[in-house]
Amino acid sequence: MNGSRTQAGTCLDSAKRPRRAAAVVSLAASLAVSLAAALAAGCDRSAVISRPQEKKLDVAYDTLFLTELQGKVEDGDIVLRRGYAVLSDMITLVTPGMQMSHAAIYDATTKTVIEAVNSGVREHPIDAYVRGSHRLVVVRLAVSTSDKRAAVVSARSVIGSGFDHLGFIGMDDPERFYCSELVAWAYRAKERGFRPDDVIAPGELVRLGAIVYDSGERGARPMSAVAPYWK
């Protein structure tokens, strides 16, 4: 691990705090029960949304979304997505804000996203991120180019850190991150007047800036819009 919230600056409180709010308990219970039920049934895919059944159509959407995204996204932008996992269903069901299940920060120098996933804070190609997305939303902060670059550098400094599994149910570990926590920390969101609850939902990050791109749902475009990307 190359850094921590303590070493690189603090957006979120680094000290562990007792969190006994009913909302947090409800969130934890909902996530745990629903996820356990889904996994017990042998299902790790969304029960709410699905990819286009026609493979060529699905791939066409990959190309369409990626082409549009690359024409809009800039260094330091927040890239939200609605994913296809059963956990994505749970996140959108029990958290406030826009119905998005994951968040990452874009590095234009490498054309990658830095994100906190189950295995920890990692860097992945933007095209791989797009392939796992039912919907993409790009949020841009009204800050200087240098501030955006600083946020990317901060996120990059903690690549290799663990995933904050308990943080998403309100039991923060200052050495680990969940997805939206990483983005908020990198942008020092608390110092910018952002006052989220103990648990920061991906969809709440739209409050940090302006939406500059929204792909809409995969499969929802008219065929005339998708046809140029059909192979």
Average pLDDT on 189-215 reads 83
Residue 201 — left, alpha, or beta (φ > 0 → left; ψ -120 to 50 → alpha)? beta
Per-domain residue ranges of the chain: 19-229
Instruction: For 19-229, give the CATH class.
Output: alpha beta
Q: In sequence order, what are the residues at sequence separation of 6 or more whose Cβ sits closer than 8 angstroms to the Cβ of residue 96?
A: 201, 203, 204
Model confidence at 80: pLDDT above 80: yes
The alpha-helical segments, DSSP class H, found in the chain are 5-8, 22-40, 55-72, 86-94, 126-131, 145-157, 179-186, 223-226
From 181, 84, 163, select the one nearest 120 (Cα to Cα): 163
The per-residue pLDDT for 90 is 83
Handedness of CA 140, 141, 146, 152 (dihedral sign): negative
Structure token pair of residue 88? 């994505």
Instruction: State the pairing for strand pair 176-177/162-163.
Output: parallel
**Confidence class for position 176, pLDDT limits 50, 70, 90:** very high
Contacts of 229 (CB under 8 A, 6+ apart): 60, 61, 63, 64, 67
Q: How far apart are CA 29 and CA 46, in angstroms?
A: 19
Tens digits of residue pLDDT in 99-116:
999 999 999 999 999 999
> What does the block give as tokens for 17?
């705090």
Residue 132 — pLDDT band, cuts 50, 70, 90? very high
| Partner residues linked to 103 by β-bridges | 80
| pTM of the complete model | 0.82
Q: What is the pLDDT of residues 10-19, one digit of tens each?
A: 333 433 334 4
